[in-house]
Structure 1
Amino acid sequence: MRAGPLVVVGDTLLDVDLQGTSQRLAPDAPVPVVDLAAERPRPGGAGLAAVQAARLRTSRETVLVTPLADTDDPDALKLLELLEAQGVRVVRLPLSGRTVRKTRLIAHGRPLVRVDRGDGRLHGRTGLPDAAAAAVRGAGAVLVSDYGRGTAAHPVLRALLEELPGEVPLVWDPHPRGAEPVPRARLVTPNREEARTLAATARTARSGGYAQAATDAAALRARWRATGVSVTMGEHGALLCTGDQPPVLVPAPPVPGRPDTCGAGDCLSAAATGALAEGALLTEALEQGVHHASVFVAGGPAPRGSDTAEAEPWDLVRRTRLQGGTVVATGGCFDLLHPGHVSLLHQAARLGDLLVVCLNSDASVRALKGPGRPVMGQADRARVLSALGCVDAVMVFDEETPTALLERLRPDLWVKGGDYGPLELPEASLVRGHGGQVLLLPYLEGRSTTRLVQRAHSEGGEER
């Protein structure tokens, strides 16, 4: 590992989502009428990759080397504002033309149409600003996010990338209209369609499946002389080819609902680059990339300055409400998950469109259960809960009751096990006050974490 920033090099776009709902068709044409509720601008292309890299919360600075228009371009000003707000340091390259802006009109979470404008490309092919050259030379890791607008094809920049020492991981996210990766990249991350186009190999009998992806990845790896080529395959995860060994498949966790996959590839490549910068193996880096991409698809990017594990669920809640869905919440310590917990969670999930688990923090559990608890820390408890297909989000709270969290969450349904009575739920009046409903669900008899712990102590003595 080498000290230095994580440097993203590539073409930055401005993505704008116009979000709303549609209940009728226009009287003058068979097209939906969309009532706009929100306008959401965000960096796209290499800019999105840089934002995702900055959210990895490593000690490394994130630097974006990208063509950006002059200050008389309002879209360029907006991009600069958004990037700097996310903690990304921007090193400008000259841009010819106007900033590329991609606007999507979205109703009930589904894109209806996309409108593109702007013709911006990297200006010139000779020379490179000193600040850009210095950023690449001093990088601890580099991600090239190529969107086919000239940056990755710049000969001076390519020469600098080829001269990077072997200890500096280079990840390349290619584009069919872009430049080929420089030799000896650590990882190249085309998606399935890009790999098929770039490889132009003979189609296998099962066209489009894992066999085809493996064939394409092997051909591209040999051509590009890359250490590894990973073909991203949407909900099926990513397939990694590193040579003569069989390819490695990193599956993606299921994402509920109808996810918006726009930007998932940028998130995967950014997370994989961050992992490689910290010394991860290729398979480990790809696992982190797939995980972060899945979280991104499920909830969208979280604002910088908030904890990732807390911010993404809030975006999930917002999306569910925007689509008219029902938010269900339940809470507890969930220390040593047992069949009673699982039964409750599965029942609760069937009541709505999104299940949020409000989880007592370690300090909260100790206050409720005593100094010997919890048995598992909050990070492990949250991870186990998140692995259940019925759980969409986990939010941790520090108080003895989730009252403050529920004040903000305002679930449509607040669900607890039948071992509670209505008088034992101090949060019930708060939930009803916001128009929500409190429900008790049947609880499997004889299942209790406290009993499990007591039994373990009685059968194992003081041994742990």
Structure 2
Amino acid sequence: MTTSRTPLVVVGDALLDHDLCGRAERLAPDAPVPVVHGTRRSSRPGGAALAACLAACDGRPVTLVTALGRDAASDTLRELLAGRVDLVEVPLEGTLSSKTRVLAGDRPLLRLDDGDGRARAATGPAEATVTGAGGVLVADYGRGTADVLRAALATAATRAPVVWDPHVRGRAPVPGILLATPSAQEARAFARRADDGEDTGDEAGLRTAARDARTLVRAWRARAVAVTLGERGALLSHGETPLLVPTPAAAAGDPCGAGDRFAAAAAGLLADGGLTEDAVQAAVHAASRYVAEGGARAVAAVREPETSAPHQADGHSSADAVRTAARVRAAGGTVVAAGGCFDLLHAGHVALLQAARRAGDCLVVCVNSDDSVRRRKGDSRPLVPVADRVRVLRALECVDAVAVFDEDTPERVLGELRPHIWAKGGDYARTRLPEQPLVESWGGQVLLLPYLDGRSTTGLARRAALTPTRPGSPTR
């Protein structure tokens, strides 16, 4: 079921990003530098423009208020944003800033920066868009857009949720914002300014992040500050005891833009009326998925809307799993898929999935939807709804992605994933699987794996039904 989502206004400095991706297998003979060959060039929105595109990926209307000029980079960015977000422009003095990364695989080797343009002045349409917004995300990259619209942003903060993603080259947020989302490094720098330059230590860790967040809540007069900690998640502070929100699993990949993904997810959910704690938790999950799926380079193409809340049935779309499989395949890795109902996950399931993951470089689990389980197992099943089954599977370290299918067999989703290996339990040893010809049609292989005897959901459910409940004991 599609729910209505509050339109979001993103205010900040747009950039144009380029990636030159290739392979580095040797050093140059005349200098100790890698030789990158076989390069492919791609361009994508950067800065506030990336944040706006990511917010639009969540299925909500997005308006980007940013500074653009008459230079070639600005024209290219307008083309990249067409059809994805609505644009409200303020004048740009100079040329649009752009950055070019040279990468070998997923590892950046060099970055080249061009353009020094800054926002020149506010306009009436831009101010009206900001003050009338139902929710605002400020993606400040220190190039003046938030500065020229500061009065309008201060007004917006008195009547709507405002999330501010700061930059060390920019100014402090306006008073009254609902949430600020600095990185640990940014929080450290702003906290030093708030303490009049006093150096309270450079040590990294949760203690420093908590102290900095508490300082910034007071100095910025913000309702809350969430310090993003990369692989560790985020630390949310309202000025007292902080809340640590860990990542659901370690995500290996390109982290460029993960902070924008975090801020965009949090801003959208807060605009919808969500609680700050829930929004930060969903934002951590969204940023983790973003990194695992390839990061900013995946935004070069238009992405399908996704849900940000980790507790929702986000397994209904196979888009995340397809992107994960494509990323691993493009890097030369082996994609393994396994399938089943996974109703009441038990030790037999876990053993099968762990063995399947060891057979390749990523594991995508194909899960029957509730209707599909019902047709196979009867009206009393599933015992666990698909949203919960997906969440439990994603929590397993051996599982990289989950795809839900509504048909009786997983052939459609397998055709989208095109795995190198389709793994099934050894109890299928004497059965020709209906999906086997399909998997073999692209050179894939069906692989049977040992299955732990005596483990089954049906058996667990039967034993649970026979277990007497003590009087007065809870039933949940």
CA shift at 1:355, angstroms? 0.7
Matches within 5 A, 1:248-259: 248-257=243-252, 259=253
SS at match of 2:428: coil
Deviation larger for 397-406 or 380-389: 397-406
Instruction: Give yes or no for contact 2:226–2:237 (8 Å, CA) kept in 1.
Output: yes
Query: How far is 1:40 from its partner?
Result: 3.0
Counting only pairs closer than 5 Å after superposition, residues 229-308 of structure 1 correspond to structure 2 as 229-243=225-239, 245-257=240-252, 259-299=253-293, 300=295, 301=298, 303-305=302-304, 307=306
Measured in 1, the distance between the counterparts of 2:396 and 2:190 equals 38
Say whether residues 1:78 and 2:70 are aligned partners: no
Shift of 1:412: 1.9
CA-to-partner distance for each residue in 1:296-321, whole Å, 9 max, x for gaps?
A: 11113563335565323222222222
Partner of 1:368: 376
In structure 2, the partner of 1:97 is: 94
1:215–1:165 Cα change, 3 Å: closer
TM-score (norm 1): 0.90
Instruction: Answer yes or no: is 1:21 the counterpart of 2:23.
Output: yes
Q: Tell me the secondary structure at the aligned position of residue 262 of structure 1.
A: coil
Is 1:34 matched with 2:36? yes
> In structure 1, what residue type is equivalent to 2:163?
V
- What does 1:196-211 correspond to in 2, within 5 Å? 196-200=188-192, 207-211=203-207
Structure-2 separation of matches of 1:94 and 1:445:
69
Partner of 1:46: 48
Question: Which deviations, in whole Å up to 9, do the C-alpha atoms of 1:98-132 show, x marking residues without a partner?
Answer: 221211122222112111112221124xxx32221
Q: Normalized against structure 2, the TM-score is what?
A: 0.88
Q: Is 1:433 the equivalent of 2:419? A: no
Give me the CA root mean square deviation.
Answer: 2.3
Counterparts of 2:205 and 2:124, CA distance in 1: 45
Extract structure 1 runs of 4+ deviating beyond 4 A: 201-206, 306-309, 457-461
Bigger mean CA deviation after superposition, 278-287 or 170-179: 278-287
- 1:56, 1:388 → 2: CA distance? 25
Query: Which amino acid letter does the alignment assign opposite residue 244 of structure 2?
Result: L
State whether residues 204 and 211 of structure 1, in contact with CA within 8 Å, keep that contact through their aligned partners in structure 2: no
Partner amino acid for 2:82?
A: E
Distance across 2 between alignment mates of 1:267 and 1:400: 35
Q: Secondary structure at the match of 1:85?
A: coil
Partner of 2:130: 136
Query: Which structure 1 segments of 5+ residues have no match?
Result: none
Structure 2 gap ranges (5+) = 308-316, 470-474
Report which stretch shifted further, 317-326 or 104-113: 317-326
Q: Per the alignment, in what secondary structure is the counterpart of residue 333 of structure 2?
A: coil
How many residues matched? 449
1:423 Cα offset (Å): 2.7
Partner of 2:426: 418
Aligned to 2:314: none
Percent same amino acid at aligned positions? 54
Question: Aligned letter for 2:65?
Answer: V
CA deviation vs aligned residue, 1:198-255 (integer Å, no higher than 9, x gap): 2115555781111111111122222111111221111111112212x21111111222
Q: Please state how far the C-alpha of 1:46 moved relative to its aligned partner.
A: 0.7
Classify the secondary structure of the residue corresponding to 1:213: helix
| In 1, Cα distance between equivalents of 2:305 and 2:264 | 19
The residue aligned with 2:161 is 169
Which residue of 298, 313, 318 corresponds with 2:326?
A: 318
**In the TM superposition, what is the alpha-carbon distance from 1:399 to its structure 2 partner?**
2.1
